[in-house]
Amino acid sequence: MSDLIRASRESDYDEVKRLLENGADPDLQDVYGWTALMVASRWDYEIIARLLLKHNADPDIQDNYGKTAIMEASSKGHKNIIQLLLEKGANPDIQDDEEKTAFDLAFNDEMRELLESAGLPGPKRAEK
């Protein structure tokens, strides 16, 4: 696991900032395809996610199963992270290996409504 992913997992803002300022790649993936942004999104570490996005972390990178940061946030019900990722251009209509989107994986109706507000019809949403 990279130092950046480890620092994100530990919600260590100062270490994440130091690593990024010293050239750490915000899009580096671990053996499972996870990035520091995916970790921050899954565990609702908004300040870490903001910092990573400020350093141009790609919100649409997919892990080994096709999951993205917004899918992680959506499945856990992290509204602020979803809003942040959408503001930064995350695509909620990317499909994982099971052809599911962030909408399909949403924790509850509130998360689905938030994703629908992005204004993207989405291949799976059209079927519902």
Q: What is the pLDDT of residues 68-112, one digit of tens each?
A: 999 999 999 999 999 999 999 999 999 999 999 999 998 888 888
Per-residue model confidence (pLDDT) at position 57: 98
* φ, ψ at 12 (rounded to 5°): -95, 85
Q: What's 3-127's CATH class? A: mainly alpha
Domain spans, the chain: 3-127
Q: Are the C-beta atoms of residues 32 and 66 closer than 8 Å to each other?
A: no
Q: What is the pLDDT of residues 48-64, one digit of tens each?
A: 999 999 999 999 999 99
Concatenating the DSSP letter of every residue in 57-120 gives: --TT---TTS--HHHHHHHHT-HHHHHHHHHTT--TT---TTS--TTTT-SSHHHHHHHHTT--
Q: Are the C-beta atoms of residues 38 and 68 closer than 8 Å to each other?
A: yes
* pTM tops 0.85: yes
Per-residue model confidence (pLDDT) at position 119: 63
